[in-house]
Structure 1
Amino acid sequence: MTGDRVLKGIGLRLIAIFFLSTMSALIKLAESHGATLSETMFFRQFCALPIVLAFVMAGPGGLRALRTTRLKGHATRAMIGLVGMVFTFGAVILLPLAEATTFQFTVPIFATLLGALVLGERTGLQRWSAVLLGFVGVLIVVRPGANDMSLFGAFVGLMAAMFVAIVAIVLRQLRDEPAGTTVFYFTVLTLPFIAVPYAFHVQGHSAFIWAVLASIGVVGGLAQLALTAASRLAPVTAVVPMDYTGLIWATVYGWAMFGVLPASTTWAGAPLIIASGLFIVWREQRLGKRQTISATAED
C-alpha cells in the first residue's frame, strides 16, 4: 500500500473513533434525560439506515450489491451483534465514559482467547503473556473491593468487548461479502427485534432530546462508513493504534458534559490494556495470520 493511502486510512480511523466517542456521549446524554436503552438502540439503527443505503447505492453495482446467498450468515451475525449492542450501550449507560471506553480495549484479548479456545488456533507464550498483562490492567481499572465502581457495569463492559470479538470471528465467514452489504443486513435484521421493546417504551421528549436520539443513529452510521473505508485503505496494524484516541475523547466528553474525570486507577490500568492489545495485533500481523480483530469493531 502506498504511503498516501495509509495516511488516509489512519485519518479516516481517527474520524471514526471521534464519531464513536461522540455517539457514546450522546447515548449517555439521552439516558440522563430519561431515554431508555431500547430507545437509544432503536434510533441508532433506524436513523443509520438511510446513510447505509446511500453508501451501498454509491458503491459498485448500487442496490444490486444487496443480493446475497449468505442470508443465514448475516442473520447469525445480526443476532450476535444485537446482543453485543445491548452490552455496549449498557456499559456506556452504567459506567463513566472513560471506563466504558477502556473496557472496549480488551477486544484483542478476548479475540485471542476465543481463537485459542473455540477455533483451536495456536497461541504462543508471548501472546498468552500479553493476555495476562491485559487482564492485570483490567483488575487495576475495576479495583475489586472498591465501592466507587459498579462491578455489574464492569461486567457489562467486558461482555461488550467479548461480543465484539465474537462478531469478528463470525465476520470471517462473510469476508467475501461487500462491507456495505454486511452493515445493511445487520441494520435491517436487528431493527424488528429492537422495535418490539421500543414500542413499549415510547414516550415524549423535548425537541433537544429527539435531536440527540436521531444524532445517535447519524453519527453511528458515519462511524461505520469511516471504519469501513479506513480498513480498505490501510492495514489493521496501522489503524488500530488510532483507536486509543477514544480514551482522550471519552475523557473530554465526560468532563465537559457530565463533570466526571477518569479515576487514577483507570490511568494506571489503561496503558497495560492498550499495550496488551497493540502487541497482540502486531503479533498477528507478523505471523501472517488472518486478523482476529475486526476492522469494523463497532458494527
Structure 2
Amino acid sequence: MPEHVPPRVHPSAPSAALSGALWMIVSAVLFAVLNLLIRVGAEHLHPFQIAFFRCAFSLAFLTPWLVRTGFGGMRTGRLRLYLTRCLTGLCAMLTWFLGLSLMPLGTAVTLGFTTPLFATVGAALFLGEVVRRRRWTATAIGFLGVVIVIRPTPETLSLAALLVLFSAVLNAATALQVKSLARTEPTTAMVTYMALFLTPMSLVPALFVWQWPSWPVLGLMVVLGGIATLGQLAVTRAFHAADASALMPLDYVKLPISALLGWFAFGEVLDAWTWVGAAVIAGSTLYIAHREATLARRGR
C-alpha cells in the first residue's frame, strides 16, 4: 500500500490572524468612507434623518440574511436590556452624526477613539470589574490626550467636541450592555433585535426634522446604508478570525484615512497637536486592550 500523503497546504492561504487583520483594515476603510458620506449627506439632510436612513437601509440589506437564518432562538428573558442597549446605541449614533457634521473628520474620529477609556470606567463603576492601577493610569493618560486634542478654553471648547465625546460615552455604555448580553444570548438574537428595534426608534427623532430628499440624495443614503452594513460584516468577520487585542491597533487605520478624506473633500487639515493627542489616546487604549487580553488569558 502506498503511504498516506497529507493534503497540500497552499502557502498563499492566509492564516486566521492575517485574515482577521485584513478584514479589520477593510472595516476601518469602510467606516472612514461612511463618515465621509455622513458629512456629505449632512449638507442636504439633518443628521437625524441620515441616522434613520442608515438604519432603514441597513435593515433592508440584512433582511435576506434574517429570512435565511430565521427567527429561531429569539426567545429571551432580557428584553429590557435589549431595549436599553438599542436606546443607548441610537443616542450614540445621533450625537455622533450631529457632531460629525460640525467638526473635521479626523478630529471627530480621534475623539471617538475614547470609547474604550469610558468603557473601562463604566466596567469598574457598574459591572463591578476590578480595574487596577495600571489600567487606571492608562485611562488617565488617555483623557490627557483628549485635552491635548481639544485644548479646552472658553473659545475652543465647542459643542461638536462635546457631542462626539458624549457619543463615545454612550458607545461605551452600549458596549458594556452587549458584553452582558453576550453571556446568555445567542449572536443571532442580538443582531436581529438590534436591526428590528433601531429602525423604528430612529424614525421618531427624524420626523421632527423631516424633509423629503431628492433622488440623488436618496441614492446617497442607499449607498451609506450599504457601506454601514458591509463595515459591520467586515468587523464581525475580523473578530471571528482573531482576538480583539490583536485587531485593536488596526482600527486606528481609520484616523489617517479619515484625515486624508477630510483634506480631499473639504480641505480640512489636522494640526500637529491633534496628531499628538491622537497618539496619546491610541497608546492608552491599546495598553488597556493588552491588559484586558492578558487578564482574560490568565483567567482561562
TM value normalised by structure 1: 0.88
The one-letter code matched in structure 1 to 2:251 is D
Change (3 A) 1:154 1:221: same
Partner of residue 181 from structure 2, selected from 165, 171, 174: 174
Is contact 2:89-2:174 (8 Å) kept?
A: yes
* 3-state SS in 1 of match to 2:252: helix
The one-letter code matched in structure 1 to 2:45 is A
Partner of residue 55 from structure 1, selected from 43, 65, 86: 65
Change (3 A) 1:20 1:66: farther
Partner of residue 195 from structure 2, selected from 184, 187, 192: 187
Is contact 1:53-1:184 (8 Å) kept?
A: no
Residues of 1 paired with 2:128 and 2:75: CA distance?
A: 29
Segments of 5+ residues of structure 1 without an aligned counterpart are 291-299
Any idea what the Cα deviations from partners look like across 1:16-46, whole Å, max 9, x if unmatched?
A: 11111111110110112x2102210111000
The one-letter code matched in structure 2 to 1:203 is Q
Q: Which residue of 2 aligns with 1:67?
A: 74
Partner of residue 29 from structure 1, selected from 40, 55, 61: 40
Is contact 2:48-2:98 (8 Å) kept?
A: no
Residues of 2 paired with 1:188 and 1:244: CA distance?
A: 30
My pick for the range that moved more, 9-18 or 177-186, is 177-186
* 3-state SS in 2 of match to 1:182: helix
Q: 5 Å matches for 1:218-237?
A: 218-237=226-245
Is contact 1:52-1:184 (8 Å) kept?
A: no
Q: How much is the aligned-residue C-alpha RMSD, in angstroms?
A: 2.2
Change (3 A) 1:144 1:83: same
Is contact 2:59-2:199 (8 Å) kept?
A: no
Any idea what the Cα deviations from partners look like across 1:142-171, whole Å, max 9, x if unmatched?
A: 111274x45221111111111111111101
My pick for the range that moved more, 80-89 or 62-71, is 62-71
The one-letter code matched in structure 1 to 2:192 is F
The one-letter code matched in structure 1 to 2:17 is V
Residues of 2 paired with 1:240 and 1:37: CA distance?
A: 28
The one-letter code matched in structure 1 to 2:18 is L
TM value normalised by structure 2: 0.88
Deviation at residue 186 of structure 1 after TM alignment: 1.5
Deviation at residue 57 of structure 1 after TM alignment: 4.6
* 3-state SS in 1 of match to 2:296: coil
My pick for the range that moved more, 183-192 or 202-211, is 202-211
Deviation at residue 196 of structure 1 after TM alignment: 2.7
Is contact 2:48-2:97 (8 Å) kept?
A: no
* 3-state SS in 2 of match to 1:288: helix
Any idea what the Cα deviations from partners look like across 1:95-134, whole Å, max 9, x if unmatched?
A: 2100110011111111111111222222111111101111
Partner of residue 107 from structure 1, selected from 115, 126, 130: 115
Residues of 2 paired with 1:222 and 1:65: CA distance?
A: 24
Q: 5 Å matches for 1:44-193?
A: 44-57=54-67, 62-65=69-72, 67-69=74-76, 70-145=78-153, 147=155, 149-175=156-182, 176-193=184-201
Q: Which residue of 2 aligns with 1:293?
A: none
Q: Percent of aligned positions with the same letter in both sequences?
A: 31
Q: Which residue of 2 aligns with 1:297?
A: none
Any idea what the Cα deviations from partners look like across 1:63-111, whole Å, max 9, x if unmatched?
A: 1346231433321211111111112212211221001100111111111
Residues of 2 paired with 1:134 and 1:30: CA distance?
A: 31
The one-letter code matched in structure 1 to 2:219 is A
Segments of 5+ residues of structure 2 without an aligned counterpart are 1-12
- Aligned pair count reads 285
Residues of 1 paired with 2:208 and 2:91: CA distance?
A: 19
Residues of 2 paired with 1:205 and 1:172: CA distance?
A: 37
